């Protein structure tokens, strides 16, 4: 017998957990920017409720653009980006992780899995975010802020966009599960505007397209 769904509303007229779709619908109907999802497990619904949708610890955009980013204690900031090259059928990700003590960790990789190739650079965008969150957990940081330029990185996780494909569903589930172990927040960065670390993540992704001796996939 299928488990009964529980509905989590993070942004709406009312927020919290709801036992029926009718209650959930009443909480979000007519609310601009409502964020809600249905779950079969209460723990997953609670993780969704507790995940921050936005964050921006940098108050000085000019400094950030120049590569001067102050990272608060007990968290890391990760800039992520993806790339795709049709001629060789590969997607790739780039990720720059900044720590409070000034370390800069660079991660990148590429793959040619058919499902990833089908969504082009989006596969890399998601892989960059997953890599950053995994690194934060492995290195025992309690919080990570993902700075991205493709909206799906955040919106599939927060439920603003419905994850309709196997890969986007897998990505959202991975991030929501990770959210039980590390506090995840998101911050959108405008693409190709000269932001130092965003541009570096982009270049890491492009360079990784040529790393054909490895395969990464969602």
pLDDT band, very low/low/confident/very high, at 205 (cuts 50, 70, 90): very high
Domain boundaries, the chain: 4-48, 59-208
pLDDT of residue 22: 95
User: What are the start-end ranges of the E strands in the chain?
Assistant: 6-11, 16-18, 35-39, 76-85, 90-98, 104-111, 143-148, 183-188
Tell me what pLDDT residue 195 has: 86
Tell me which fold the domain 59-208 belongs to. Answer: Nucleotidyltransferase; domain 5 (3.30.420)
Q: Does the 4-48 domain belong in CATH 3.40.970.10?
A: yes
Q: How far apart are CA 124 and CA 106, in angstroms?
A: 15
Q: How far apart are CA 30 and CA 68, in angstroms?
A: 41
Is the model more confident about 81 or about 32? 81
Identical fold between 4-48 and 59-208: no
pTM of the predicted model as reported, rounded to 2 decimal places: 0.81
In angstroms, rounded to a whole number, what is the distance separating the alpha carbons of residues 190 and 90?
24
pLDDT reading at 59 higher than 60 = no
Return d(Cα 188, Cα 72) in angstroms, integer. Answer: 18
Cα(16)–Cα(3) distance, integer angstroms: 19
pLDDT, residue 57, reads 55
């Amino acid at each position: 017998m299928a488990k009964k769904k529980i509905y989590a509303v993070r942004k709406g007229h009312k927020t919290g957990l709801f036992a029926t779709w009718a209650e959930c619908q009443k909480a979000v109907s007519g609310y601009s920017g409502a964020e809600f999802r249905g779950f079969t497990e209460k723990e997953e619904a609670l993780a969704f409720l507790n995940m921050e949708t936005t964050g921006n610890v940098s108050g000085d955009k000019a400094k950030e653009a120049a590569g001067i980013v102050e990272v608060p204690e007990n968290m890391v900031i990760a800039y992520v980006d993806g790339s795709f090259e049709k001629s060789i059928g590969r997607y790739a990700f780039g990720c720059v992780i900044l720590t409070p003590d000034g370390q800069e960790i660079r991660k990148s990789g590429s793959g040619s899995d058919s499902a990833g190739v089908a969504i082009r650079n989006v596969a890399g965008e998601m892989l960059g975010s997953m890599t950053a969150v995994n690194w934060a957990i492995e290195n025992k940081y309690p919080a990570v802020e993902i700075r991205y330029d493709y909206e799906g990185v955040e919106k599939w996780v927060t439920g603003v966009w419905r994850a309709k494909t196997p890969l986007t569903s897998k990505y959202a589930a991975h991030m929501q599960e990770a959210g039980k172990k590390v506090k995840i927040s998101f911050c959108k960065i405008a693409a190709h505007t000269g932001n130092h670390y965003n541009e570096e993540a982009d270049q890491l992704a492009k360079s990784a397209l040529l790393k054909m001796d490895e395969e990464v996939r969602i």
